[in-house]
Amino acid sequence: MTIDYEQFCKSIFKDIEYIEYEDLQKENTLIDLGISSIDLLSMLAQIQDEYGVIVSTDEIDFNFTLLELYNFTIYKVNEKHNDKIEYLSYGYSSFHNVISNMVKVFGERTALVRYDGGKTRNIRYKDFIKEVKALAKSLDKQENGDKNIGIVIKDKYLLLKVFMAVLYNNCIPVIIPSEVFEYGKADECCASIVSDNELEFEDKFNEHTSLGDDDLYFYRNTFRNISRTEESCVILYTSGTGGFNKGVILGIDGIIANIDSFSRAMYCENNHVTTLEYTHAFGLFVGCLWPLFNGKCIHIVKSIDSLKEVSDKKQIDVLCCVPLTMDYIRKHYNLKNISIKKILVGGAKLDTCVGREFEDNGIKVCQLYGITECTAAVTVNREFDGNLKSVGEVLNGYEILQPKDIEEEEIVIKSKAIYRRYVGGEEASTYYHTGDIGYLENGKLIIVGRANNKIVRSDGNNIYPEFIESILREIADVQDALVYEDGGVLCADIYSDKRILDKVEIKKECNKKLPVYMRLQQIIIKNQPLERNRIGKLVRRAV
């Protein structure tokens, strides 16, 4: 099924004579076009007649833009017919274009809700952008030609505001996770903005200046050995999956294109929460900028424990998180009593049994796959796919070159949104070798494991430990597992805080689901949680 936007507008508004079609093409709110409640009911009845879906006044209001009305109708059609009609995006061309739309179109809406110690603060789009511009003006007085501005801030709201202010001044934000900051990442910046919570790093800077009431400080770095020739970009750090954190230079045009593609594949609902830090590409681009680009509301929580506080007050329409967060939620909350509509999960492999438990409790689970070097999301499962095995279909603007149907190979991605280069490295091509092994099945990507995690047995068989680990985690009371080879013996470390585990029974239950060459030979019970990095991926060390 296809639905043309122009035809949609003409058919829905055909009985409202005083609205010219040219006005409908503007990205404006319905109320500004003078639509009455009677006209709105007429429109909803027309949608039902034209597309066979019911849209109620409880689901739509006068603050919807025409594009949102269209997308909501598409969502309803997709839900009813399990279809995959593409949504529309606002088609932003630049970061300043985004800022302008936030004020002009979404100005009166709530952009952010901050939760802090039982207190909440609602911040409208126009007020948030006013704060961003004020900070940008204060920062402009300090920059003195500095281009690369490091951001070392844990507070999500402050980090977002500083990030936007740096971009507004046409400078380059270098978002540095504080836990890797002490390893010398500041030498990739000309100056840095640090909140008072990170002042233990003061010895890494020279002079500093306060930037205002938020306890933000501008530090001019004593070292300036970075090239300042890059334009219109953002620098993020990888999570260290490849062994160490690398600075990745991403073009603004690629970031906007990526969010545009994601908006076309996934319906952007109203209330968003992410448990990921904004220092991570998934957390920043999908968890934060995607809803802001579409005029939606982000509920900023300090920790995963605040989820219940949010869901008690407002339904969480979209939760962005890693699989480890889902595991925590199912063990600490009653899934029937927590108000989450949809989960976007990525960053690591999701165990099918965990995803199924959420689905069985009415919470949609949509996996995505992405890499910092490819500007966050590359694939995503649509809302109504119900496929927990795959990480979805490839987004517009990306192409997966290597894997063929049921043929495991390294995933190679082609896109104009590929990173420009690593900090201190050579220019990148439009092809990126991910180091992940997978294949396409009926157009959907299935991840098998990491190439550098592969275990090659003495008989020549290859084993991807992630597969065995997912089976182990399906066993009752096994909370985590790590599979490796030690001296030719296939071993598994497992952890649980529930009770004493029976190693013999666990090995027996796991091995009956595995071919002979994959069967575990030894299990070690750990009394401490297995080590994971900042986005929840297992830390694997050479044995």
Residue spans per domain, the chain: 5-81, 89-448, 454-526
Q: What CATH superfamily is the domain 454-526? A: ANL, C-terminal domain (3.30.300.30)
The number of helix segments (H) and strand segments (E) in the chain equals: 16, 26
CA distance 118 to 114: 10
Q: What are the per-10-residue average pLDDT scores of the chain (543 residues)?
A: 78 65 60 72 84 83 82 90 86 89 90 85 95 90 74 89 92 81 60 63 58 73 51 83 75 94 94 92 95 95 82 88 88 86 91 90 94 93 86 94 66 91 83 88 87 80 86 86 90 84 90 91 90 78 61
pLDDT at 225 (0 to 100): 46
Topology at the third CATH level for domain 5-81: 1.10.1200
* Cα-Cα-Cα-Cα dihedral sign, residues 62, 68, 74, 75: negative
- What residue has token string 């149907």? 405
The pTM assigned to this predicted structure is 0.85
The answer to whether residues 149 and 189 touch, using CB atoms and an 8 Å cutoff, is: yes
Pair type for strands 340-345 and 316-321: parallel
Which value, to the nearest 10 degrees, does the dihedral of the CA atoms of residues 149, 152, 155, 156 take? 50
* Cα-Cα-Cα-Cα dihedral sign, residues 434, 439, 441, 446: negative
pLDDT at 142 (0 to 100): 76
CA distance 258 to 262: 6
The answer to whether residues 379 and 369 touch, using CB atoms and an 8 Å cutoff, is: yes
Topology at the third CATH level for domain 89-448: Rossmann fold (3.40.50)
CA distance 500 to 99: 55
Contacts of 504 (CB under 8 A, 6+ apart): none
